[in-house]
Structure 1
């Protein structure tokens, strides 16, 4: 079967063994292009019609019906695949790339006077149902065309071969054409695969590029966000540390100051106790004997009133007053440092409270003035004025003022 279809449609393989030609049509566009190219080829071959024949070009009107019209009729079917190829097959159309088409092209180029007769002979041989050029006597066949056909036969006779050789050659050519079609099919499949692979690869590359770009952008955004968050966190920690230092610095200062005053008071308290205890011990162990010896040495056995008054004044009253004066100043230092330590703790409490209250809200100038007045107010003992040890009423009054 010269026409092989795939599921009743494209692709279809059209094989013409007697012209040693075959071709595979994959789309209707390819079939249309083939028919159009055949019409164009034979239209050019049949021009000009002034072939150098005796008697002129009379009777050459048969060339187009035997060549171009067959392909035109096939094209007029739509072209419909099966119908168009059957017209070409049954009417024995001469194919330009087939065996006879190449021979006619050679005759037209080398011996154009043999071309018309060769066309008539080959066309009738390929398509027995084709009308003769002089059918019905309407178009007399000039004797020059008979001579042209005879000359074409004589021209082609030396190149003829035996039937066995022709069959063998036809088989070889058919196999070659089949292999060519198979190679073209493989090539086309490869082209389709390559295009699909390139398309898929390009799509994958674009997708990968886009995904990589999106991933990089996302990573950059995440990094930028992380940096921004870390900067905000650092600033927040700095603010917390600064606020903590602001809150702790005054408290620490006044607490240390209060502790220093307490240490001083404790030191002088120890000195006070040491002096009092040492004086009492010396008085009980050595003072009485000293006064007695002094009285015996100064007064002796006499009863002089002046000498009797001198011994108590010199050895009792004056040392006692001096010792009391020293103890009074020691106690003054103790009381002063205790008062300053208590005041320092109160100032530290004021500073810590004020810092905590104004941590999230700024204070007004009036509020600042109140706090500064409380923190830097003068207190007893801050100058060198006389400070006497407080009694019970003084302590109660001081407690009331606090």
Structure 2
């Protein structure tokens, strides 16, 4: 008895996925709810668990195939696993002979032996073991050799002499090759089909460029105060809250302060309407094995530093483990993307539609700046705010970024809501 494995519900507005990888081979034992396949959707990878315990049966679809919700992708069989389970790819390559009226044909034709091997097999009784070995090694047809031994038997020396004569003779013209072999050192190419996630990323980024009136405003930020506060309180913070104090919580709180003052930066265009949100659902761009993803921290404007750090850390771990859900990805009113962790000095980030703005963070480096008429060295970071100019005016974008800068340079502002 077999049980069908079907594509589970993938989330709101997601109707199909792509078979990314089979995690179990036919014939292998499968436990209840054990992952047997990985599906790639537009946003995340989802594992399909076994509906029953048993033995992995046949694949109904192949890796790379698109499947709809509810479609059958494999079967689970009752019984114990086979000792030598054959992968489905090998079974598919086995030739199936057509049925015959006289007798059943073999499942796959036996490959024909080479002429030399056939000749050796036919003359096995007449050839000594040493001669048979020499014939096979030199590739000489024994029928073409005149034996010098007793009763005209072929000797090993006869085989060697025939091989030398063959090598001395001019080689026949080589047939025209169907495709010339690539010369040594030739540069090669590799073609890999884009994953569904990468296709979605490409489409959404291009749509953002084609739809929104994108513009980026820049500023630089002195990180001295935040770095000093972090260094002073990092040990006690981690001891109390069980999480490290990073820079993202400072920027998240600073962004909330700016979005409260400039509501348009936290708004969206939907049709011919502008939707303003009284809350901040912060999308945080993180790197996952299959590409960049932006899970959402809900109601970040109501969180403290420790809550923000824990939430971002948990989402980052899920992204690396490939366990993000559709719920983790949906929504978001504003995005922070930290290219500084990869060493980026400056960039023009692209908004995450339908959002209207994204804050780009970059690496911190010591630079000479003027303070009170003196040139001093300070840890500086470039900030970039890309925004949809259809909704956000330049004055609003510059003001929002300036508010973020001032809050980072003087974190006391975060405490007194200034």
TM range (shorter): under 0.3
What TM-score, normalized by structure 1, do the two folds share?
0.16
**Could you say which structure has the larger radius of gyration?**
1
Task: Select the structure with the greater relative contact order (CA < 8 A; seq sep ≥ 6).
Answer: 2
What TM-score, normalized by structure 2, do the two folds share?
0.16
Q: Which has the higher strand share?
A: 2
Q: Which has the higher helix share?
A: 1
